[in-house]
Structure 1
Amino acid sequence: MANYANRIRALSTVWFIYGGLSLVLGIVGLTVANSIFNGGGFWMHGPFSRNAFPFGPEFGSAIIHFAWIMVILRSGLAFVAGWGLMERAPWGRVVAIVAAFLCILKIPLGTALAIWTLVMLLGYRNTSLYDQL
């Protein structure tokens, strides 16, 4: 039982790390994308200069706003999954499974974390062990 509890604690720590890494890389990527779409930086005179986006600046701005929302939701879900597993809350297992299915296509880190989470939390034996924690 103590071995399984240590594995769940390690899994929750990795969810926290994944959430932080996802947030930092999302902020950096979206800052660069915002600079490209809005004509800032050294891209000012290139093919993506101001108002040169094929669908207009409003479409680029909408894409950036949607991407910001998705980065915040993905990182927030990872932090909530990590917190729920760390507290060993009954809802933490469900949130971690949902987060695992949502990040399974984020190759390679998201896929590895999703597989590890699903192996640790699914199945009759693991469900009963988690309920005993």
Structure 2
Amino acid sequence: MLCRVCCGGVVAGQRFCPHCGTRISLEPPRFRGPVPVGRVERHRHTLGILWSTYGVLRLATAAVAIFALRTMTMRRLGGEVWPFGGDVRSFSPMWVTGLLPGLTVIVLILTLLSLLTGYALLARERWGRRLALVVGALTLILLPVGTALGAYTLWALGSAASGVEYEGGVSL
């Protein structure tokens, strides 16, 4: 350990420099000025919030769509009636009814992946970058919001330098 005034050697635990008498502080020196933040760190938090919001909006949209599809495919078979009372006739062919469980599972999986991606980026999990890249590539086909969010994710996290910075190295 060195004295900050005279640069003389100081033994750990001494309160004063033996050469110049300056009081030795046990606290590390404070950094003065803004802390440099890398490109990935600037976008990681924003991406985490966007992915979380996108997941919640997908969940709400899916709930409305599933309710609407279920309502359109209801038939009066075995005493089943529309939730708001009265009889209902189906607005769609019978094969559409078979799509409902499959579509529900796909939408819920993509929604959970979006929410998990948002959490992983906000919590800076080690696997968060890889998950964000995979989910970002998958959502490129979901126009327009999925495409924009997927492209932004791939741009912010896709390069090799981004991988090094996300893993802990700093590259500005």
Fold shared, TM-score > 0.5 on shorter chain = yes
Note the C-alpha offset of 1:132. 1.4
Note the C-alpha offset of 1:61. 3.3
- 2: CA distance, partners of 1:120 / 1:97: 10
Normalising to structure 2: TM-score of the pair?
0.66
Aligned with 1:2 (options 20, 33, 37): 37
- 2: CA distance, partners of 1:97 / 1:110: 13
Aligned with 1:44 (options 88, 97, 110): 88
Matched residue type, 1:122: G
Identity percentage over the alignment?
Answer: 22
Normalising to structure 1: TM-score of the pair?
0.84
Partner of residue 151, structure 2? 115
- 2: CA distance, partners of 1:88 / 1:43: 52
- The answer to whether the aligner puts 1:66 opposite 2:102 as a matched pair is yes
Matched-pair contact (CA < 8 Å) for 2:55–2:112:
yes
Number of equivalenced pairs: 125
The alignment yields a C-alpha RMSD, in angstroms, of 2.1
Partner of residue 28, structure 1? 64
SS state of the match for residue 88, structure 1?
A: coil
SS state of the match for residue 104, structure 1?
A: helix
Aligned with 1:106 (options 134, 142, 152): 142
Structure that is richer in helix per residue: 1
Runs ≥4 residues deviating over 4 A: none
Note the C-alpha offset of 1:44. 2.9
Range with bigger deviation, 61-70 or 109-118: 61-70
Higher RCO structure, 1 or 2 (CA under 8 Å, sep 6+): 1
Matched residue type, 2:37: A
Return closer, same or farther for 1:20/1:120 CA change in 2, 3 Å cut-off: same
- The answer to whether the aligner puts 1:81 opposite 2:117 as a matched pair is yes
